Structure 1
């Protein structure tokens, strides 16, 4: 974080900057767990990656991330629990998703990401 923010009022900060400040405040708390609900929402890709790297380094506490960003999750978490209409349909590891050895619904979610679309037309 840019230290010049200490002289600014909250209304002068962007939504992404406020989110990063709140994340920092959550990380410095002496708690055994951190629950992060859509932590990268509103952040650009580079800052989202930095955030997930920071969360990944929290060796002294358990981190539970709730996210729709499967692309980022597979790179930074140990386990992924997939829900469909509030029901658990998969409990897997990132490598299983990357290799397609996960439940059908999870595989469909992964394949639905635009970066995984295969061109069907020339």
Structure 2
């Protein structure tokens, strides 16, 4: 535990450690757990080290973390929701799919999307940037 207060936690692989600059006696400082900033840094270091150790040593944790990462990656790759704004072949606004005034599609998001599309088209038509 004493090595944590001196900032000697090895969180990098050997390759990453080689790419990191070596701490000299002048750049190395002790972390004071009574100082808020240092306490947060210590907790972050402990959290990273604990998660790293669990990932390396526990196959169930590794499986769960891999599954979570796969879920997040799949969610990021999901296609964007289809726009409510209809456009013609030239990209000009030609109408909307659902009313933005009444009904279930009358959300602020759809209203803002339509307003921005109309504003962009008007600016393009009049040469305003």
User: What's the TM-score, normalizing by structure 1?
Assistant: 0.26
Q: Which has the higher contact order (CA 8 A, sep 6+)?
A: 1
- Higher share in helix: 2
User: What's the TM-score, normalizing by structure 2?
Assistant: 0.25
Larger Cα-atom Rg: 2
